[in-house]
Amino acid sequence: MGLEIGAEAGVGFGSGGRKVGGGEGIASERLAGQVVLKTGADPGVAEVGYWVSAEIRGRGVASRALEAVTRWAFSAQGPLRLARIELFHAADNHGSCRVAERCGYGFQRVLPPQPPVFPTEGHLHVRHAEADGEHRHR
């Protein structure tokens, strides 16, 4: 199965005002995954989330897609001008932890459960814009 990864940006409007975001589509014959970047009240901070279908896990697809969206989000030519991107995942999702660390998102802390939406502990990982140039040259 051939995979194609492509970044795109979009602007949407919701009840909270203007939202600018970007996404990374992972295409094959079937939808294989997605990376979503969302902004909130703090204009310098965004949250990134992703998923990859079971049949393509372990091939580096999530890492490549996350890195592409991260570079776009921190780009000086981009619309976001972010200082920080936060990544949250369930503490027992070891694959997501590896992807985050591989892409330069440092582990910050364990998050307590918040039932019913988050019934188990979580992890917070963060990547800062000022460290982005350093990460590219590893």
User: Total structural domains in the chain?
Assistant: 1
Alpha carbon distance 109, 3 (integer Å): 34
Residue 45 sits in a domain whose CATH number is 3.40.630.30
As beta bridge partners, residue 89 has 123
As beta bridge partners, residue 35 has 24, 50
Check: pTM over 0.85? Answer yes or no.
no
User: What's the pLDDT tens digit per position in 23-60?
Assistant: 555 555 677 889 999 999 998 999 999 999 998 889 99
Instruction: For residue 112, give Cα distances in angstroms to 77, 91, 124.
Output: 37, 10, 11
Give the residue numbers spanning the domain of 38. Answer: 4-136
Task: Report whether the peptide linkage leading into residue 115 is cis, meaning its omega lies within 30 degrees of zero.
Answer: no
Contact in structure between 4 and 32 (CB atoms under 8 Å)? no
User: What's the pLDDT tens digit per position in 71-127?
Assistant: 999 988 778 889 999 999 999 999 999 999 999 999 999 999 999 999 999 999 999
